[in-house]
Structure 1
Amino acid sequence: MLVVGINPDVVTYSALINEGMVTQAEQFKQYMSRMKISFDVASFNCIIDFYCTRGNMHEAFSVYDNMHRYGCSPNVDTYRNLLRGLCKGGYLVQAKEFMACLVDIPYAIDQETFNALLLGICKDGTLDEALDLCEKMVTSNFLPDIHTYTVLLSGFCRKGKIVPAIILLQMMLEKGFVPDIVTYTCLLNGLIKEGQVKVASYLFQEIICKEGMYADCIAYNSMMNGYLKAGMIHKVDMTIRDMHHNEVYPNPASYNILMHGHIKKGHLSRSVYLYKDMVRKGIRPNNVTYRLLIHGFSKHGMTEIAIKFLDKMVLERIYPDRLTFDVLITVCSEKSRMSNALQLFNCMKRLYMSPSSKAYSAMINGLIRKNWLQQSCDVLRDMVESGLEPNHTHYIALINAKCRLGDINGAFRLKEEMAALGVVPAEVAESSIVRGLSKCGKVEEGIIVFCSIIRAGMVPTIATFTTLMHGLCKEGKIADALHLKGSMELYGLKIDVVTYNVLITGLCNNQCVSDALDLYEEMKSKQLRPNITTYTTMIGAICATGRILEGQKLLNDIEDRGFVPSYKDQILEWRMENAMRRLNIIRNCRKEITSKNEVELLHADHESMH
């Protein structure tokens, strides 16, 4: 401008601000000061609005404070912009305080200022306060307009108060206001949120479309979202066809809603077609589009395609958000594709993002399954450094893996780290080592650590006692296992069904059936309910040792519990064998390894019992 002899002025400065060219505007501001070009209130309002729109309220109020220094007095637009910025940024308390200050300033408040505060209050959900503000608005000689009613109606719908919203709509009509598409879209969203999709559909088809009102893309999107929530994917397809017919052009959100519906139904090829259709029509896919595709293909096990969409996303300079990465990392980890998971993890770090706690957990568990213990330890420590609190299960799984692979020193280091971070109490941390050693067959070493816990005045956990008993029983040291049971009772720990099952299994495996039956009776006397494992183990041992008569009471208990049909007219040996067969079928059912014939047999039993 200067080159061609045109002197810039405050309008030039305002234009730079409006275009978001803040750096250039600041440089021009300095030029204006040197040239003694004064700022007017419109320029200041332009700057304040720029900062308020972007949520930078500190800078906005800094400019507001400087207005008097430049000989400028704020006007109603200045105050309104600041109030809107406070409400938009979630500073509702400060917005109310600011409004209270404006009451004493002449001509500082207009109808739009009241509406701006009303919008903030309605979004906060305090409807009583919103109604009070409407009354105050009237007493201040400002009558509610269509924007006021729409904001209030939206507040009612957001809180699920549909009946008051409809009454308010009726009041609007009685006062001569004609609701516009924004008003009706608010009501549509409220009805859909409350699950009244049929009513919303009637409102859309019979009132909005047939009354000659122009339904915009947002209204169509609201209706499609309602149909999607109701599982009516065919209606979503029909609605988008109606949009084309009525020359309402879909936006990325329209395609995302339709794509989401087809992905939920598993129609992945259709979702890819929609993606290509978007691109072909010049509609740029956004972050949500790619996230839906990545999530859909990942969920259905097509990780390679999901990663290709991630690559395409980055090439188009649409940077993935944390949720997109989390979905991919979790799926790759669950499918033991740890190389891909680690690549994605490193990509996140380069973009200065951290995975969620769920993604970290999936990675740690996946790395442990692959026995990549060093990498799993690195990921666990990265989780701690990122400020997330690791779950004690992460450490215990790693300790178990270290013990299994013979890295006892590494297990102890992890135990110390777990205790130092305060993830679990000291006795739980110590107990994790005992369980890790016992699970990998190093029972003697486990007992040494167990004794050190006792000497330190700590009480091992129930799980620790049970795991150690299990290890001793496997080695045939039943007396030592029963001694531990006595120690548990001495420490006041409540013995559960799992602990009893471990001891009963150990006794049965060593043909101590009478002792197992004694424990079974003791278990019942403590009001503990034996489960399928208890019954299957004992029935199997009784049949194997031929001590059928001793198991008669046990068999009666099983029949009384309804696990097997009662055949009291049959001989005891047959009843015992029949019970064992059916208990095994039930146990296999729970493990999902039952044949079709076995399932049919169970159904026949069920019908005979009823």
Structure 2
Amino acid sequence: MATKLLRTALNKPRNYHPIRPNPTRSSSLTSYPFSSQQQDDHVTDPEESRPDHVRQLHAIFRSNGSDFINHGTAASLESCNSLLESLISQGKYQDSLNLFSKMEASGIRPDTFAHNKAIQAAVKMGNLKMAVGFKDAMENRRKKPDTFTYNVLISGLCKSKRLADARKLFDEMSQRRVVPNRVTFNSLIDGYCKDGDLKGAFEIRERMRVAEVSANLTTYNSLIGGLCRAGLVAEAEAVVGEMEACGFVADGFTYSILFDGYSRCQDGDKLVELYEETVRKGVRLGDYTCSVMLNALCKVGRVEAAEGVLKELMEKGLVPTSVIHNTIVDGYCRVGNMNGAISAVKQMALNGMKPSCITYNTLINGFCKIQNMAEAEALVTEMEERGVVPSVETYNTLIEGHGRGFRFELCFQLLEQMQEKGLKPNVISYGSLINSLCKNRKLLEAEILLRDMVDRGVLPNVQVYNMLVDGHCKYGKLQDAVRLFDEMIEKGITPTIVTYNSLINGFCKEGQVLEAEELAVRITSEGFSPDVITYNSLITGYFDIGNNKKAFKLYEHMERLGIKPTVATYHMLIKGIGREGGMQEVEQLYQEMLEKKLVPNRVFYNELIRCYARFGDVRKAFDLYREMVESGEAPDEMTYTSLLIGHCREGKLLEADNLFVAMKVKGLVPSAVTYMVLIDGHCKLDNFNGAYDHYREMVDKGFFPNAFTCNELLKGLRNEGRLEEAELLYSEMREKGVMEWTESSSMEAAEIL
């Protein structure tokens, strides 16, 4: 019902009543991304529903095009308008514009309705400049734009993400006393929601209330969708409550939005609960909603639950599509359960569907992710044997898989194979390989490949340049990163916030924080706003040069701007403060982070444990270790090294040695820092026997201590009269070029620990 009313409102021009049946089928705004999926079962044939004279005109138009006006036909404004509407309803937008031009040329003066149809055709063709031109021409001819005029233009501008221009037209309506209707408001609300501007969306919703224009299912679905995309699912549920209180019933599409929202929040339990709610309420779930729901369950790792739901739906009469089956296959691949994925493909065959290229690509991607490249390549052979032709995406997946394992020779062979089979590598083919080369510090090879792809007619995009700029920044090649940045500008490739953030991070790593901050200011003139990644880099940069005061000022400024700090932000703050032993501030920051519902990860726990082990309550460090394990974060070498610092600091060498053994039993490989912590800890308590044992193991593993640790151990061995061990140590020191203790060595050791 709501859809019918929407169509009627869109297609009923003011002060115009041509004789034309069934106008509700011709609107340009009849479909919304968040509108109800229900449609009328019966659609009247538009040819049968037209009056005789219009059908005659249509037949002549099909034969002669817009020249029908010159073929002795009594073409009136009314008949031309009916034909305009007919052409637009059939998607013949260029023909309708040709007809409009012919009307003008033949002396038929287009009225508001005709102008509206020309505007509608231009918007449908994506030519907003032409559409606005028609509006201007309309006004020059003293034809007043009506609600339909503005609705079509506002909708087109919103879909093109030109919200500011759409808002200007909306404000113009008020100035000219053109009354907006539900479609006007819904277009703006949907536009703002899709642009992520929830404040703008709810402001328009409030204007809608003030104007006493009632909301419909489309209105609510748009708002619910906007909130879900922003991760505000609880608020979206509140809007559902308001919607139901107003007498609307959530349909399958409403639930598809909520399924997607809870998927974004990784809430598998709520997804299952939501499905059970649809069963209780008798909500009919179509193929689209089922796909969204099953995909959501698979995304959060609840693949078996998804299969159970699919089985229930099939028992109720759902005939699963290939999309639904592929969703289940992809779900198993996401969680690395390739046996489950293969079983799902077999089930697909039992249901009478052959695996498609998409199915095979999904399986190949799954095997590539777990680096089982033999199985991935065997599937390519199998799909060819079964008559399924591998696509560019198939090869791109293999290139990415081998690239992730740094098997670059195989990647180049795959590029050659593609060309031999008539498949042209695209920007993703090259981009995957360039990304892998950059991650493996093969920056020269990555740039050579960039030149090769250009020579082969594949133009690099901003993502490819971002990989190169970021790779050079990460590995200290700032000058080359700037050169690549200048190159992309020269080639007309517009940098993104990702590009600028990479450069800012690069400047900060080189200690050039003033240049980094200048660049952060500059990006606002380029139409970007600094984000949390920008500020994280700047905060780290100032901490690294010892300017803690400036680092905290940036943090406070970030919060004032409404930019929400992440776990990474707090990690940097705690690391910076922790260097100076400010444990009270560290504890405050930790509590603040928890209050903001941010969940610590392994990197964060490691830094916090390290701070407490070095400067605070060692028991607290072990409490955090237990908390870390209980939260599901697996301790690594850094975790244990920090705990060893705590034991050594308290003089508990036996506990330290036992923890070291436990660490190795768990399969963790000690680093050079781990060994130096133990050697220094034993040296401080004059246990040079234990220190020397750890030193020998360290050397056997291919590591060597720094000058400070070597000299402390050397001095201790000599004092205890263990001259043979001392002489061997001294000899090994000379071999490694470590000769004597220096103050810088002491500072280096302190920084490492």
**Is residue 534 of structure 2 the alignment partner of residue 257 of structure 1?**
no
Question: 1:590 & 1:256 partners in 2: Cα distance?
Answer: 29
Task: State the match for 1:226 in structure 2.
Answer: 506
1:172, CA displacement in angstroms? 3.6
Query: Superposed, which structure 2 residues align to 1:417-496 within 5 Å?
Result: 494=724
Task: State the match for 1:16 in structure 2.
Answer: 293
Amino acid at match of 1:18: N
Question: 1:87 & 1:336 partners in 2: Cα distance?
Answer: 45
**Is residue 344 of structure 2 the alignment partner of residue 87 of structure 1?**
no
Question: 1:358 & 1:587 partners in 2: Cα distance?
Answer: 24
1:188, CA displacement in angstroms? 1.8
Task: State the match for 2:408 in structure 1.
Answer: 127
**Is residue 429 of structure 2 the alignment partner of residue 152 of structure 1?**
no
Question: 1:104 & 1:277 partners in 2: Cα distance?
Answer: 61
Amino acid at match of 1:362: I
- Of 608, 618, 624, which residue of structure 2 is paired with 1:344? 624
Query: Superposed, which structure 2 residues align to 1:282-301 within 5 Å?
Result: 282-301=562-581
Instruction: Verify the 8 A CA contact 2:717 2:726 in the aligned structure 1.
Output: no
Instruction: Verify the 8 A CA contact 2:583 2:612 in the aligned structure 1.
Output: yes
Task: State the match for 1:315 in structure 2.
Answer: 595
Gap change, CA 1:8 and 1:332, over 3 Å in 2 = closer
1:42, CA displacement in angstroms? 1.0
- Of 351, 354, 357, which residue of structure 2 is paired with 1:76? 357
Task: State the match for 1:103 in structure 2.
Answer: 384
Task: State the match for 1:117 in structure 2.
Answer: 398
Gap change, CA 1:185 and 1:348, over 3 Å in 2 = closer
Task: State the match for 1:359 in structure 2.
Answer: 642
Give the alignment's TM-score, normalised by structure 2.
0.49
1:294, CA displacement in angstroms? 1.0
Which region of structure 1 is more displaced relative to structure 2, 283-292 or 67-76? 283-292
**Is residue 583 of structure 2 the alignment partner of residue 303 of structure 1?**
yes
Q: Say which SS state the counterpart of residue 82 (structure 1) adopts.
A: helix
1:338, CA displacement in angstroms? 3.3
Question: 1:275 & 1:360 partners in 2: Cα distance?
Answer: 29
Question: 2:717 & 2:538 partners in 1: Cα distance?
Answer: 55
Instruction: Verify the 8 A CA contact 1:259 1:274 in the aligned structure 2.
Output: yes
Task: State the match for 2:108 in structure 1.
Answer: none
Task: State the match for 1:267 in structure 2.
Answer: 547
1:259-282 superposed Cα distances (whole Å, 9 cap, x missing partner): 211110122222223333333344
Amino acid at match of 1:13: C
Question: 1:220 & 1:8 partners in 2: Cα distance?
Answer: 44
Question: 2:684 & 2:521 partners in 1: Cα distance?
Answer: 58
Instruction: Verify the 8 A CA contact 1:38 1:70 in the aligned structure 2.
Output: no
Query: Superposed, which structure 2 residues align to 1:570-609 within 5 Å?
Result: none
Query: Superposed, which structure 2 residues align to 1:159-178 within 5 Å?
Result: 159-178=440-459
1:315-363 superposed Cα distances (whole Å, 9 cap, x missing partner): 3333323333333333333336435435434544554654733112111
Instruction: Verify the 8 A CA contact 2:511 2:545 in the aligned structure 1.
Output: no
1:12, CA displacement in angstroms? 2.9
Question: 2:717 & 2:448 partners in 1: Cα distance?
Answer: 66
Question: 2:620 & 2:511 partners in 1: Cα distance?
Answer: 34
Question: 2:409 & 2:331 partners in 1: Cα distance?
Answer: 32
Gap change, CA 1:344 and 1:28, over 3 Å in 2 = closer
Gap change, CA 1:308 and 1:139, over 3 Å in 2 = same
Gap change, CA 1:51 and 1:153, over 3 Å in 2 = same
Question: 2:575 & 2:313 partners in 1: Cα distance?
Answer: 53
**What is the alpha-carbon root mean square deviation over aligned residues?**
4.4
Gap change, CA 1:180 and 1:339, over 3 Å in 2 = same
Task: State the match for 1:434 in structure 2.
Answer: none
Question: 1:589 & 1:152 partners in 2: Cα distance?
Answer: 45
**Is residue 334 of structure 2 the alignment partner of residue 334 of structure 1?**
no
Question: 2:330 & 2:741 partners in 1: Cα distance?
Answer: 69
1:147, CA displacement in angstroms? 2.1
Amino acid at match of 1:361: L
Question: 2:286 & 2:744 partners in 1: Cα distance?
Answer: 80
Gap change, CA 1:133 and 1:303, over 3 Å in 2 = same
Q: Say which SS state the counterpart of residue 244 (structure 1) adopts.
A: helix
1:498, CA displacement in angstroms? 12
Give the alignment's TM-score, normalised by structure 1.
0.60
Return 5+ residue gaps in structure 1 as ranges. Answer: 404-413, 425-461, 471-487, 500-526, 529-585, 593-610
Gap change, CA 1:64 and 1:396, over 3 Å in 2 = same
Larger Rg over CA atoms: 1
Q: Say which SS state the counterpart of residue 473 (structure 2) adopts.
A: helix
Question: 1:125 & 1:301 partners in 2: Cα distance?
Answer: 41
Question: 1:167 & 1:590 partners in 2: Cα distance?
Answer: 40
Question: 1:591 & 1:274 partners in 2: Cα distance?
Answer: 33
Task: State the match for 2:205 in structure 1.
Answer: none
Amino acid at match of 2:297: G
Question: 1:16 & 1:302 partners in 2: Cα distance?
Answer: 48
Gap change, CA 1:289 and 1:81, over 3 Å in 2 = same
Question: 2:489 & 2:683 partners in 1: Cα distance?
Answer: 65
Amino acid at match of 1:15: V
Instruction: Verify the 8 A CA contact 1:364 1:394 in the aligned structure 2.
Output: no
Question: 2:480 & 2:680 partners in 1: Cα distance?
Answer: 53
Amino acid at match of 2:574: I
Instruction: Verify the 8 A CA contact 1:16 1:24 in the aligned structure 2.
Output: no
Which region of structure 1 is more displaced relative to structure 2, 318-327 or 138-147? 318-327
Instruction: Verify the 8 A CA contact 2:437 2:445 in the aligned structure 1.
Output: yes
Amino acid at match of 1:85: G
Instruction: Verify the 8 A CA contact 1:162 1:190 in the aligned structure 2.
Output: yes
Gap change, CA 1:162 and 1:358, over 3 Å in 2 = closer
Task: State the match for 2:461 in structure 1.
Answer: 180
Question: 2:610 & 2:347 partners in 1: Cα distance?
Answer: 52
Q: Say which SS state the counterpart of residue 234 (structure 1) adopts.
A: helix
Which region of structure 1 is more displaced relative to structure 2, 71-80 or 156-165? 156-165
Q: Say which SS state the counterpart of residue 459 (structure 2) adopts.
A: coil
Question: 2:649 & 2:495 partners in 1: Cα distance?
Answer: 50
Which region of structure 1 is more displaced relative to structure 2, 153-162 or 354-363? 153-162
Task: State the match for 2:174 in structure 1.
Answer: none
Instruction: Verify the 8 A CA contact 2:647 2:655 in the aligned structure 1.
Output: no
1:257, CA displacement in angstroms? 1.7
1:590, CA displacement in angstroms? 12
Query: Superposed, which structure 2 residues align to 1:372-383 within 5 Å?
Result: none
Q: Say which SS state the counterpart of residue 385 (structure 2) adopts.
A: coil
Amino acid at match of 1:107: V
Question: 1:258 & 1:202 partners in 2: Cα distance?
Answer: 22
Aligned residues: 430
1:591, CA displacement in angstroms? 13
Instruction: Verify the 8 A CA contact 2:583 2:616 in the aligned structure 1.
Output: no
Amino acid at match of 2:584: E
Task: State the match for 1:199 in structure 2.
Answer: 480
Q: Say which SS state the counterpart of residue 73 (structure 1) adopts.
A: coil
Question: 2:315 & 2:451 partners in 1: Cα distance?
Answer: 59
Q: Say which SS state the counterpart of residue 20 (structure 1) adopts.
A: helix
1:407-450 superposed Cα distances (whole Å, 9 cap, x missing partner): xxxxxxx9xxxx9xxx99xxxxxxxxxxxxxxxxxxxxxxxxxx
% identical aligned pairs: 22
Question: 2:433 & 2:321 partners in 1: Cα distance?
Answer: 35
1:47-73 superposed Cα distances (whole Å, 9 cap, x missing partner): 222333444434323322322122221
Instruction: Verify the 8 A CA contact 1:360 1:380 in the aligned structure 2.
Output: no
Instruction: Verify the 8 A CA contact 2:567 2:598 in the aligned structure 1.
Output: yes
Question: 2:456 & 2:743 partners in 1: Cα distance?
Answer: 68
Instruction: Verify the 8 A CA contact 1:326 1:359 in the aligned structure 2.
Output: yes
Gap change, CA 1:327 and 1:24, over 3 Å in 2 = closer
1:397, CA displacement in angstroms? 7.1
